[in-house]
Structure 1
Amino acid sequence: MSESRADFHRQYQAQAIQEAERLLARRDALQGAWLDWVAGELYRLKPAPYAAMVRRELQRLSQA
């Protein structure tokens, strides 16, 4: 039985927020190299829907 998109979101939401916070925490230390680094980190995340969740959380936290 495949899980629904909503179930997937509920299951991984907290983890996606933690991952986005981890990525954002490195921004000051990496400065200009951060964008390339974070792009590589996001590329490695699997599955793709989870990576998209992390990307959205990263954007949301960056705007806060």
Structure 2
Amino acid sequence: MSRSEFHQQHAERATAEARRLLEQRQALGARWLGWVATELYQLKPPEFAAMVRRELVRLNET
């Protein structure tokens, strides 16, 4: 599977996961960053985790 195909198949799921992570920021406060790092580390495959990280950045900027 090409990178483009992988991205197309998982883009919606990556956005949903990033939103789920961002929703916890206020509740976790200062602990959020460490929690997010742990959550991202557990995501597989690594290419999907990278997609979620990019979505976190994109959603955080809006």
Within 5 Å, give how 1:44-59 maps onto structure 2: 44-59=42-57
TM-score normalised by structure 2 residue count: 0.99
Aligned pair count reads 62
- Over alpha carbons, which structure has the higher Rg? 1
For structure 2, list consecutive stretches of 5 or more residues without a partner in the other structure: none
CA RMSD, aligned part only? 0.3
Give the structure 2 partner of residue 18 of structure 1: 16
> TM-score normalised to the size of structure 1?
0.96
**Alpha-carbon distance between aligned partners in 2 of 1:63 and 1:32, rounded to the nearest angstrom:** 19
Gaps of 5+ in 1: none
Moved over 2 A (4+): none
Equivalent in the alignment of 1:27: 25
Q: Which amino acid aligns with 2:39?
A: E
**Percentage of pairs with the same residue:** 56
Give the Cα separation in 2 of the matches to 1:44 and 1:30: 18
